[in-house]
Amino acid sequence: MTDHTLGPRDRLIAIAMDLIDRDHPEDLSLREVARRAGLTSGAPAHHFGNKMGLLVACAEVAWKDLSLAMERTETDATPAEAIHHKARAYIGFALSKPGPYRLLMSRRFVDKSEFAVLSAWRTRAVQGVVEQVERALGPSDDHKFPYRRGVAMWSLLHGFVTLNLNEAISADMREALIDEICDCAVEVALSQPKTR
């Protein structure tokens, strides 16, 4: 159902996001997006130039949604609880919006200079994790250590999601796995460096 309270550009993005959730981004049809949005067939080209322009706009929305979902978890919780909440928000976003998640993790957007806005949102999301790790671990002689812990946690979550997006498992089993992987994320993020 098309939300006609949105402007034409936002409506096209919303429809494309819904279609990406069902089909591969390569299969996205600009004509179908326009039809479902109740707009002329030339509307996507007018607003985005081409399909890649529309996919970039969709990826930006996906990164923004993921970043804000993780930021909303910042409460008065203990450091371990806060990291657990961030991990759960990441997994929740990915499993509830698999198409947009696959799009934002796509290798097509790795060029930071070409996709500066996407890079900025990606950096914001990862930096939020790194800052939480820094708060939890306190000062360190190795200024790169919190970043490495945050990236390790991010990688763990991404790996879990990638392996489980298409798995047909019961809701109870999935919930138990999510809790376990969030606990693992906390351990990865807060593990202390080994002394030599």
pLDDT digits (tens, 9 = 90+) for 10-36: 999 999 999 998 888 888 999 999 999
pLDDT digits (tens, 9 = 90+) for 40-63: 999 999 999 999 999 999 999 999
CB 121 within 8 A of CB 60: yes
Q: What is the pLDDT of residue 145?
A: 85
pLDDT band with cut points at 50, 70 and 90 for residue 194: low
Q: Which residue has the higher pLDDT, 142 or 61?
A: 61
Q: What is the pLDDT of residue 46?
A: 95
pLDDT digits (tens, 9 = 90+) for 60-93: 999 999 999 998 876 778 888 888 999 999 999 9
| 109-146 per-residue burial string, b: 16 or more CB within 10 A, e: under 16 | beeeeebeebbebbebbbebbbebbbebbeeeeeeeeb
pTM for the full model?
0.85
pLDDT digits (tens, 9 = 90+) for 165-190: 666 566 677 788 888 889 889 888 88
The whole-chain average pLDDT of the chain stands at 86
